Structure 1
Amino acid sequence: MISQYQESLLLSARTFQSGPSDSTFEDVLEHIDSGILLFDDEGVLTFVNKQMYGILELNRHSLLGCTLHHLLSHIQLSRFKKKQVLRSYREMVLKGKPSYEFVDEYGRYWRASLSSGEEMKGSYLFTLKEISDYKLIEQTAYQNDSLAMLGRLSASIAHEIRNPLTAIRGFIQLLHPHLHLLGKEEYAKIILAEIDRANDIIHEFLTSSKPSVPQISMIPVSALLKEVVLLTESEALMKGCQINLQVLQEDLVISGDIKQMKQVVLNMIRNAMEAILERVDDSTGRIEVGARKEGTEVRIFISDNGKGMDICTLDRLFNPFFTTKENGTGLGLSVSDRIIKNHGGCISVSSRLNEGTRFVISLPLIH
C-alpha cells in the first residue's frame, strides 16, 4: 500500500521518465518539499531534484548518471550522510521496509521512503522528507499523556502514603529517648531522614502534576538570591564546594511567586552540588550565582565546575522522569521549567563534559 502523496510522486516520476516535451512535471518535482532520487532498472540515477541536492549539500547536477556505489564514494558527500544513505539502502532495499527514520547531524528528524515494483517498471524512487515538526507534536502529546497519568498517580500516593509516613515519624520521635538510652540514636536519625526524603518525593510528584497558582508580587532579585545562597551555604560547605554570589544591582525587580522562584533557584544550586560531587578530579568545587540586566530581561545564572553533561543528556534534561541521579525522580528541572514558563520566562543551559554547566533563567524586567 502506498500513500496518495507517493502516488502523485510516482505519476510525476513515470511521466518525467517517458520524456514529455512539457517541463511541467519536472517543475513539480523540483518544487515539492521532499528530496527525490530516481534510479532506473539498471541502478543508474536519472533524476535528482534541487531539494535533494540541498539536503546532501552537493553541487547541482553532480550526480546524474551515477550509481549508488558512485554516490557513496562521492568526494563532496560527508561521512555522516554516506552512512545514512547506506543505512537507508539496507533498511528499505535489503530488509524490505517501506520507510526509515533517522536524525541528522543538526538534530533534525527525517523519513526516507522507497517506491518500487510493477508500478515503477523496475525503477526505484527514494523520497526524503523532514518530519521534525511531527516529531515535536508526537513528543508533546507523549509528555501530556505522562503528566495526565502522573496527576492521577500523585493524588493516590498523597493519600495512601503520606498519612502512614506521618504516623511512623511521630512514633519514631516518641521512641527517640529510649533509642538514645540504648545507644541507637543514630538509627532514629536515619529513619527520620528517609521518611523526610520520601515526603520530598511525594511533594515533587504533587507539584509537577498540579502546580499551585502563582501568588504574584514584586521580587527584588538581589534579595531573592542572597536568601537562597544563605540557605544553601552550609550544605555546600559540607559537600566541599563554595558558593560565590556576585555583586548584584539593587534595582533588578521581577514579578512572580516568591516561593516558586526560590524553589527553582534552590533546585539548580542543589543540582550544581550533585554535579560537583560526581567530578573525577579533586579540584575545589565552585558555584557562581548572579544576575544582570539585558534589554528588557533579567538574566539569573547559576554555573558550576562539576562533571558537565553530554548532548544526549542536554536534549532530555527538562523531560519529566528523566534523571541521571541514582535516587532522583526526574521531576525537579521539569517543574522548574514549567514555573519559569508560567512567569513568562525561559531557562537555557550550556554544558561540557568535565568542565561544568551553566543555567540561565530569563525573566521580564519590572521597572
Structure 2
Amino acid sequence: MLHEIHESRLLSPRSFQAGLLDSTYENVLEHIDCGVMLFDEEGVLTFVNARAYGMLEIQRYTLAGCTVVDLLTHLSLSRIKKRQLLHIYRETVYKGKTMYEFMDEYGRYWEVNASFGAGMNGSYLFTFKEISDYKKIEQTAYQNDNLAMLGKLSASIAHEIRNPLTAIRGFIQLLRPHLQGLGKEEYAKIILAEIDRANDIIHEFLSSSKPSSPQAGIISISALLKEVILLTESEVLMKGCQIVLNAIAGELYISVDVKQIKQVLINMIRNALEAISDRLDDTTGRIELGAYREGGEVRIIVSDNGKGMDVCTMSHLFNQFFTTKENGTGLGLSVSDRIIKNHGGRISVSSRINEGTSFVISLPLTPGFTA
C-alpha cells in the first residue's frame, strides 16, 4: 500500500496535500505520533507528514521534489540536523540497518525505523518516533542497579575494614602506657583520633548505602530542638559561637524517628560551624534554630551567618560524594536528605555569599497533637 502511495502521487511545490492519495490513509499518516518520510526508487521524497517536517524544523513546501542529496544540502536545514540525517543515511541505507537511535540537539532521543528491500520495490520508508521517556526509564533503572550494586559492595568493604580498625585501636590502647613512658603519648592520641575518623567515614558510608527504616515516636518540636542544642552547645561555645532557640508559637508535635532527626539537625549545626569558621572577618558566629506551622506541616529552620554558598554549590548540595570540605566525604547532607524524605518531608536551602545560609526542614504534623 505504501508503494502504491508513493507511485500514485508526487510532491509538488504547491502543496504536499494535493494528489491522488486516498484521504483516509493520508489522514492516518498525517496524524500518527511518529514522523514519516517516503523516498521512491530514485531517491526522491514523495511523502512527509507534519511530525517529520516539524522535527526537521523547516517548511513542508521546501521539501517538494527533494532527493536525499538535496535534503543533506538543504539551505533551511541546520548543520546539526544535516549531520544527524547523514548518520541515519549511513546506518540504514549504506549499512543496511533497519533501526537506529540518536539524540538531537535538544537532548531528545529518537528511534528511526527503515523499511526497504524487495517488498518495497526500491522505495525507502523512514519512521521517526521520540523515545525520550523510555530512555529515561532505562537509564534510571540502569543507574539504580549500579547504585544498588555499589551500595552492597561499599557495605561489604566497610565491614571488612572496620574489623581490623577495631583490633588496631585495641592494641594502641594497650601500648599507650608504654608510649607515655617514652614521652610519645601524642602519637597514640593521633592514631586513635585517625582511627575514630576512619570509623566515622565508614559509618556514613553504611548509612548512605543502607539507611535504616524510621522508628517513629511522637515528640514536640520545642523539646526536640532543646535536646539538640544541649548536645551541641559545648562544641558551639568552644568555637566562640552562639546558638539560639527562637520562640515557637504553640506546641507542635511530629511523629518521627527522633534519633535520625537529631542526626540531621546536628549535622546541619556542625556544617554551620564550619561555614562560620571559614568567614574571613571577625563577625561573631551565630546559629539560630526555630520552627513554625505551615498548613499541615512544621517548618524547622537552621540558619547561620557563615560564609554562605553560591548557586552552583547549592545545586549539588544533596548529591552523594559532593563536598567543599578538604576532609569531607560528601555524605552528610545526602544522608540527611534521604532521612527526611523517608519521613515524608523535604529539605530546602537558601544562601547568600558572606551573609549566611538557612536550611528549612518540612515535616508532616501529627494530627491531634497541635496546640
Whether TM-score is above 0.5 comes out as yes
Counterpart in the other structure of 1:217: 217
1: CA distance between counterparts of 2:228 and 2:275?
Answer: 18
Are 1:69 and 2:67 an aligned pair? Answer: no
Residues 1:14 and 1:157: Cα distance change in structure 2 (over 3 Å): farther
The TM-score normalised by the length of structure 1 is: 0.68
2: CA distance between counterparts of 1:273 and 1:163?
Answer: 32
Q: Which runs of 5+ in 1 are unaligned?
A: 1-7, 73-81
The one-letter amino acid of 2:108's match is W
Task: Tell me by how many angstroms 1:252 deviates.
Answer: 1.8
Residues 1:235 and 1:17: Cα distance change in structure 2 (over 3 Å): farther
When structure 1 is superposed on structure 2, of 352-361 and 265-274 the one drifting more is: 352-361
Query: Residue 248 of structure 2: SS of its match in structure 1?
Result: coil
Match of 1:99 among 98, 101, 106: 101
The one-letter amino acid of 1:340's match is I
The one-letter amino acid of 1:65's match is T
Kindly provide the CA deviation profile for residues 216-238 of structure 1, in whole angstroms up to 9, marking residues without a partner as x.
21122223233334444555566
Query: Residue 247 of structure 2: SS of its match in structure 1?
Result: coil
Counterpart in the other structure of 2:23: 22
1: CA distance between counterparts of 2:142 and 2:38?
Answer: 38
Kindly provide the CA deviation profile for residues 245-283 of structure 1, in whole angstroms up to 9, marking residues without a partner as x.
44333512110111011112223343455566678x758
Identity %: 48
Query: Residue 23 of structure 2: SS of its match in structure 1?
Result: coil
Query: Residue 148 of structure 2: SS of its match in structure 1?
Result: helix
Matched length: 333
Residues 1:48 and 1:258: Cα distance change in structure 2 (over 3 Å): same
Task: Tell me by how many angstroms 1:22 deviates.
Answer: 0.9
Are 1:191 and 2:188 an aligned pair? Answer: no
Counterpart in the other structure of 2:14: none
Preserved contact between residue 303 and residue 359 of structure 2 (Cα < 8 Å): yes
Preserved contact between residue 39 and residue 47 of structure 1 (Cα < 8 Å): no
The one-letter amino acid of 1:112's match is W
Residues 1:28 and 1:246: Cα distance change in structure 2 (over 3 Å): farther
The one-letter amino acid of 1:138's match is Q
Counterpart in the other structure of 1:110: 108
2: CA distance between counterparts of 1:92 and 1:191?
Answer: 62
The one-letter amino acid of 1:69's match is L
1: CA distance between counterparts of 2:89 and 2:288?
Answer: 54
Task: Tell me by how many angstroms 1:331 deviates.
Answer: 3.5
Residues 1:324 and 1:263: Cα distance change in structure 2 (over 3 Å): same
Counterpart in the other structure of 1:361: 361
2: CA distance between counterparts of 1:103 and 1:37?
Answer: 20
Are 1:157 and 2:154 an aligned pair? Answer: no
2: CA distance between counterparts of 1:140 and 1:335?
Answer: 21
Task: Tell me by how many angstroms 1:21 deviates.
Answer: 3.0
Preserved contact between residue 39 and residue 125 of structure 1 (Cα < 8 Å): yes
2: CA distance between counterparts of 1:344 and 1:118?
Answer: 54
Task: Tell me by how many angstroms 1:165 deviates.
Answer: 1.8
Kindly provide the CA deviation profile for residues 176-203 of structure 1, in whole angstroms up to 9, marking residues without a partner as x.
4444454434332221121111111222
- CA RMSD in angstroms comes to 4.6
Counterpart in the other structure of 2:66: none
The one-letter amino acid of 2:225's match is L
The one-letter amino acid of 1:343's match is H
Task: Tell me by how many angstroms 1:138 deviates.
Answer: 3.1
Preserved contact between residue 310 and residue 352 of structure 2 (Cα < 8 Å): yes
The TM-score normalised by the length of structure 2 is: 0.67
Kindly provide the CA deviation profile for residues 21-60 of structure 1, in whole angstroms up to 9, marking residues without a partner as x.
314444454341x5x374865789954339x85x89x8xx
The one-letter amino acid of 1:21's match is D
The one-letter amino acid of 1:22's match is S
Preserved contact between residue 37 and residue 45 of structure 2 (Cα < 8 Å): no
Counterpart in the other structure of 1:347: 347
Counterpart in the other structure of 1:79: none
Are 1:307 and 2:304 an aligned pair? Answer: no
Counterpart in the other structure of 1:169: 169
